[in-house]
Amino acid sequence: MWRAKIITIYPEMFPGVLGYSIIGKALKDKIWSLDTINLNEFGFDKRNSIDDSPFGGGPGMVIRPDVVERAVMSILKNLKIKIPLVYMTPSGRPLNQQDIVRFSQQKGIIILCGRFEGVDIRVIDSLGFEQISIGDYVLTGGEVAAQVLVEGCVRLLPGVLGHAESILEESFSENLLEYPHYTRPKIWVDKSGNKHHVPDILVSGHHEKIKEWRKEKSIEITKKYRPDLLKK
């Protein structure tokens, strides 16, 4: 069983989207497990405070290193396997499909969700957290980002997807974006009366030519939207 352990000040935000569709079914089927660790239970004073003002001044508060360390140790002391530690933060390295594949091939993952102005960097470095970002923007916390990462991993686990071969063709599998998809009706008339046809090649029955067309479209779309991927 693949294990996801989430350290957060808002455990009630989970499972969130992870409780639905094929990801939620896989959770019920015990293909993976989800545990939330409430960071507020590891506070440093009688009020269970977890943050303090930043050295050097500035706005906001910073989550203390001793609080995070106690939360992580509470997990590790009962964990007989070694799994990666990930801190979700806008300052981290951008998440990519290769990361998701790598994490999904582990026994699980421990994710720390940032809040406030962030977490004291000393505990991140000391415990060996990987710093991961889901994009060049700022959210109020790392919980949504954690759900993105977990969903990406779970869908790759054996038995989760009904059509395992689809993983091989989807976006980023070859540093290319996925080709466009079409379904019925063959001719769709929009509300303005314009007719939209399915490309003839897709209804030709020539599987090799269809494969070639899809590859060409993947390259074309990648050039248009993500030319940086082609450089890789």
**118-135 pLDDT, tens digit each:** 999 999 999 999 999 999
Place of tokens 């009962």: 78
Mean pLDDT of 184-205: 95
Instruction: State residue 163's pLDDT score.
Output: 60
Cis preceding linkage at 15, omega within 30:
yes
Q: Are 146 and 111 in contact (CB under 8 A)?
A: yes
CA 203 to CA 183: how far, in whole Å?
A: 10
pLDDT at 65 (0 to 100): 97
Q: Is the pTM of this model over 0.75?
A: yes
144: closest CA among 28, 15, 25, 3?
Answer: 15
Sign of dihedral through CA atoms 163, 225, 88, 144? negative
SS3 label, residue 58: coil
pLDDT recorded at residue 167: 58
**pLDDT of 212 strictly over 70:** yes
User: Rounded to an integer, what distance in angstroms lies between the CA atom of residue 68 and that of residue 122?
Assistant: 10
Q: Which two tokens stand for residue 218?
A: 């993947």
- Asked whether the predicted pLDDT for residue 171 surpasses 90, the reply is no
Q: What is the average pLDDT across 91-117? A: 96
Residue 174's pLDDT is what? 75
Within 8 A by CB and 6+ apart from 174, the residues are 218
